[in-house]
Amino acid sequence: MFAIKESALYQELSPRLLFIGCFVSLGAMGFGFDNSWWGGALGLTPFAQKYGSWDPSANDWSIPSEKQSAGTGTGSAGIIFGCLASPWLCSHLGRKPTLLVMAAVLSVGIVLEASAVTSFWQLVVGRIVVYSGIGIASNVVPMYQSECAPAKIRGAFLTAYSFWNTFGGFLATLVVYLCQSLKSEWGYLTVILCQLTVPIGIILSYPLLPETPRYLVYSGRYEEAETAIKELYGAHYNAAEEVQLLRLQVEEQRELHRATSLMDCFRGTNMRRTIIAIGVQVLQQAQGISFINNFIVTFMKQLGFADPLKYNVIVLACGLVANVFSFFTFDKVGRRSSMFTGAFFMAAMMIGVGGTTANDYEGLSPMTQNGCIAMLVLWYVIYALSWGPGVWILGGEIGTGQLRERTLLLSSLGSFVTSVPINFVNPYVQAQIGGRTAIIYGSFSVAAMVFVYFCLPETKDRSLEELDEMFQQKVPTTQFKDYVCTGLGAQIRQLENKEIEADLKGRQIEHVEAAI
């Protein structure tokens, strides 16, 4: 295990960057929270009494499958709307103001959810509005992070999105678990209102966040870009030289291929980048994360677990711990290796769950139940180390500067368009074949391995401008890792490394002098 103090993250992450990485990622926390509170609330008796009906066969209150599908699937419509609006907002208002718009939309949606005292369909409308804010977040947050982070820690910086997503899911599940003893409507209203911490946190931190330097350079605001770079990396940083290099890179890209429309994402070398961005998001959903987030409680009930909410908390807690390690692994091991290995083990776990429960999923022995829980925990841990953060890292860095907003739009749409049929169909499939549902998701992990091997290049330690050069030169997938860049992108990375090494050396000298 590599030493943490020797990692690029430890050496290059300043308090300022840490603050930005945490607070900008709060939008992801809202995503994780809203996904998981819904899946947990489906198992709460007060929620089922308010919006469901009595099921004589189960001798309990339950939410009908059609309402489960509507409540889960229609949220994706809101995400699609948010994704479509996000590129325009990011281009015309800027990355930073778009964060404020996101917070406002989330606030409106949460209020609608909480005030849906008698109407299930108002609750659904509230979820659509909340998910519109999440759609905006899924574009602007990775974009903001990728444009602020140095190349060596960009993976860790973008992993913050996945971490907060997982943390939001864990927090929602924990709150649902703690509120299950409440027999009134506050058992689920408390969970809904906890979401307000997300927009409030973003609004309070907003004045302290800079605009991204790359956006300012693209907009011709060079003096503001220098100020933003110094805010991010420190007053000592050679901001003028970096702005000049970024300016030359932008001019070079515009001369080579002026790309501004959505259709440009499917032209020339941008087609390859778009396929990668969409592919990883589609395969993330197809491997079963929507199933885990939205239906694991009902799935465990179906398998005979006495306290599925408790086990759901355990699964998400283990994933959260694993997510912490992914801050280091993606910048140490790389994107390609992490994603391929992750898909392999995720396939093994899902197929294992499906095979174990295939014959008699309604009468499992305690030992078999424990085995299923162990495999689900391992699946989520592996996901949190690989495909959980990986798709957001790649989505934030794979698009060219001129089309980054639109590439992220298409990437996010790929994810959410895939999740819509999964969320609508899963309740019916699960009701028919039970545990064998997991085998379907495991088979998509096998497909993900094939996609990674043939399509996904290694982007570790590369500046965003170096990636522009390599895609422009049509470097084969397997040769990205060892390719030597010679253009402006390489100069930008060398400048970042030189400035960071000088800063680290200065801190070491100060430490020695203080010790003397």
Give the pLDDT of residue 455: 94
Q: Which of 75-84, 443-452, 477-486 has the lowest mean pLDDT?
A: 75-84
Q: Which of 416, 437, 418 is nearest to 427 (CA)?
A: 437
User: Dihedral (C-alpha) 490, 496, 502, 503: value to the nearest 10 degrees?
Assistant: -170
Q: For residues 489 and 192, which has the higher predicted lDDT (pLDDT)?
A: 192
Higher-confidence residue: 493 or 484? 484
Average of pLDDT values for 427-449?
A: 86
How many whole angstroms separate alpha carbon 366 and alpha carbon 165? 32
Q: Please answer whether residues 157 and 145 qualify as being in contact, where contact means their C-beta atoms are separated by less than 8 angstroms.
A: yes
Distance from C-alpha of 480 to C-alpha of 41, rounded to nearest angstrom: 45
State the chain's mean pLDDT as an integer.
82
User: How much is the average pLDDT of 425-435?
Assistant: 76
98 vs 42, residue with greater confidence: 98
Ranges of each domain in the chain: 14-211+259-485
pLDDT of 512 strictly over 50: no
Q: 31-35, 337-341, 396-400: which has the minimum mean pLDDT?
A: 31-35
DSSP code of residue 184? S
pTM of the model: 0.77
Which one is predicted more confidently, 85 or 235? 85
Contacting residues for 422 by C-beta, under 8 A, at least 6 apart:
285, 286, 290, 291
Look at residue 340 in the predicted model and tell me its pLDDT: 96
Dihedral sign computed on CA atoms, order 5, 464, 92, 264: negative
pLDDT (mean) for 1-13 = 57
Rounded Cα gap, residues 257 and 271, in angstroms: 13
What's the pLDDT at 283?
95
H/E stretch holding 67 reads helix 65-73
Question: What per-residue confidence (pLDDT) applies to 476?
Answer: 94
The better pLDDT of the pair 183, 222 is held by 222
**Residue 57 above 70 pLDDT?**
no
Higher pLDDT, 351 or 308: 351
Residues 6+ apart with CB under 8 A from 63: 42, 47, 48, 51, 52, 71
Which residue is it, tokens 């929270």?
33
In this predicted structure, which of 42-51, 224-233, 498-507 has the lowest mean pLDDT? 498-507
Highest mean pLDDT among 69-83, 207-221, 317-331, 352-366: 207-221
Residue type present at position 438: A
How does DSSP classify residue 288? I
DSSP-derived secondary structure letter, 267: S
Amino acid identity, residue 19? F
| Distance in angstroms (rounded) separating the CA atoms of residues 392 and 383 | 13
Which stretch of 143-152, 337-346, 387-396 has the lowest confidence by average pLDDT? 143-152
Under CATH, to which class is 14-211+259-485 assigned? mainly alpha
Q: What percent of the chain has pLDDT over 90?
A: 25
In percent, the amount of the chain with pLDDT more than 70 equals 88
Q: How confident is the model at residue 513 (pLDDT cuts 50, 70, 90)?
A: very low
More reliable by pLDDT, 310 or 352: 352
Closest of 448, 451, 287 to residue 353, by C-alpha: 287
Comparison of pLDDT for 142 and 387, the residue scoring more: 387
Tokens of 41: 């609330």
Return the pLDDT at 7: 57
pLDDT for 509: 47
Residue 133 has a pLDDT of 93
Q: What whole-number distance in Å separates Cα of residue 190 and Cα of residue 3?
A: 42
Nearest to 131 by CA among 178, 91, 80: 80
User: Residues 6 or more apart from 362 whose CB is under 8 A from it?
Assistant: 302, 303, 304, 434
Would you place residue 59 in the very low, low, confident or very high pLDDT band (cuts 50, 70, 90)?
low
pLDDT value of residue 396: 83
